[in-house]
Amino acid sequence: MEKKTSIEDIAVEWNGGIVRGFVSVKDAERFIKKVCRKTAPNIKYSIYKYMKPVS
């Protein structure tokens, strides 16, 4: 039986930091492009979707 999940939170993470609460992956990508790349261009950034099971 396959369990259903829903996205609880989308976050941008990097070495030493995390910002959570993005509504979509596009919003997270926009944050990386507009803010992160200008302030710290040499750091690697990742986008994570935090999932939760649906009852």
pLDDT at 8: 82
Q: Which helix (H) or strand (E) holds 31?
A: helix 25-31
For the question of whether the overall pTM of this predicted structure is more than 0.85, the answer is no
* 5 pLDDT tier (thresholds 50, 70, 90): low
- The pLDDT of 34-45, averaged and rounded, is 93
Percent share of the chain, pLDDT over 70:
89
- Going from the C-alpha of 22 to that of each of 5, 32, 53, 54, the distances in angstroms are 18, 12, 19, 20
- The pLDDT of 23-44, averaged and rounded, is 94
Instruction: Look at 1-5, 27-31, 48-52 and tell me which has the smallest mean pLDDT.
Output: 1-5
